[in-house]
Amino acid sequence: MSNKPKILVSRLLPQAVEQRIANSYNAVSNLEDLVLTSSDIIEKAHGLDGLLVSATERCDAAFISALPSSIKIIATFSVGYDHIDLQAAKSAGIVVTNTPDILTDATADIAILLMLGAARGAYWGEQMVRNQKWQRWAPTHPLGIDITGATLGILGMGRIGQAVADRAKAFKMDINYFKRTKLDATIENGAAFFDDLDAFLPTCQFLSINCASTEQTRGLINKATIENLPDGAVIINTARGDIVNDDDLIEALQSGKIAAAGLDVFNNEPDIDPRYRSLNNVFLLPHLGSATPNTRIAMGMRALDNLDAFFSGVTPKDVVNK
């Protein structure tokens, strides 16, 4: 046995990433991409030094406390780390890293796809064509919603929110953003700052959710906040499903209070609330934000850069539980 660090890799990763893992680590891999339960991972982790997980593996306090004490790092193949109890990891002396930056553009692209798809009827339009429901072109129906010149509210103006704003400017959209602290004018780039959610929401003809899932944001889009949006607003979510209360959003989509929604993330993926499937005014994607080959390779390489740094005694670049 060589003295390479020993890690468990919970999911099958892109080939170039698997190759680098094979070169640098003694890895317990999952090349068949089987579903591993928490107990499977805990069992396989005995004698290992670290875990390379993804957002599909829930690393809560109970999981972390059951890990062997040899595990010193959890590197997640995701920018989001809401699936990991950071405090529990810290108390157990486990460093947690993520993969920021490199999926910003791919995710912002999907937000624009969702915005256009929801507003202009990508779902119902496609259904008409595929199901031979398109009898003849009509001047009055069906109609979508204008994006050009509308106001886009960005909830959480971090890297991805800023990239969405950049793209939205090509549609001549006015950008407002809600954040606790005002950004530098150069980063704002003309967007208007709101630190009061009650004042921000009524301005959002389109609302793009781009904040992390935290104690403060879970369930933030609910009956009361939806009520505060303009009638006929469009909601886009590329962040995390649990920021939205499904009952309240579905009710608003049914009543028309929310004209349309574009959703790439859901509560309880992939077993989403089945009512979404039968709504005509939603455009749904299966968590594709980072789903391009280059992005997924870059995510894997970034996770490995963090592991390499850690095992060579250097603080990894992307530690999220300092």
- Least distance in angstroms from the C-beta of 53 to ligand DGY: 11
104 scored as a contact of ligand DGY (CB under 6 A)? no
# of chain residues touching ligand DGY (CB under 6 A): 7
Which is the catalytic residue, given 11, 287, 296, 302? 287
- The two three-digit tokens of residue 265, written as one number: 């993330």
For position 289 contacting ligand DGY by CB under 6 A, the verdict is yes
Q: Which among 76-84, 85-93, 118-126, 187-195 is the span making contact with ligand DGY, rule CB under 6 A?
A: 76-84
100 binds ligand DGY (CB under 6 A): no
DSSP H helices, the chain, are 15-24, 38-44, 61-66, 86-91, 104-120, 122-130, 159-169, 185-188, 197-200, 223-227, 246-255, 293-311
Per DSSP, 290 falls in state T
Active-site pick, 83, 240, 296, 302: 240
Q: How many CB atoms lie within 10 A of CB 240?
A: 23
Q: Is 287 a catalytic residue?
A: yes
Q: Check the CA dihedral 121-124-125-126 and report its sign.
A: positive
- 240 carries an active-site annotation: yes
- Cβ 134 to ligand DGY, closest distance in Å? 35
Residue 55 binding ligand DGY, by CB under 6 A: yes
Quote the CA–CA distance of 117 and 314 in Å, as a whole number: 45
Choice from 78, 208, 210, 321 touching ligand DGY (CB under 6 A): 78
How long a stretch of residues is the chain? 322
Q: What is the DSSP letter of 84?
A: B
The radius of gyration of the chain from alpha carbons, rounded to an integer in Å, stands at: 21
Q: Which span sits near ligand DGY by CB under 6 A: 2-10, 75-83, 87-95, 248-256?
A: 75-83
Tell me which residues in 223-282 interact with ligand DGY (CB under 6 A).
none
Of the candidates 58, 159, 269, 275, the residue annotated as catalytic is 269
Q: How far is the CB of 175 from ligand DGY (least distance, A)?
A: 23
Give the three-state DSSP class for 283: strand
Place of tokens 């999907």: 110
Task: Please state, in angstroms and rounded to a whole number, the distance separating the CA atoms of residues 307 and 103.
Answer: 19
Q: Helix (H, G, I), strand (E, B), or coil: what is residue 23?
A: helix
Contact between 79 and ligand DGY per CB under 6 A: yes
320 belongs to the binding site for ligand DGY (CB under 6 A): no
Which residues carry out catalysis?
Answer: 240, 269, 287
Positions touching ligand DGY (CB under 6 A) are: 55, 78-80, 103, 289-290
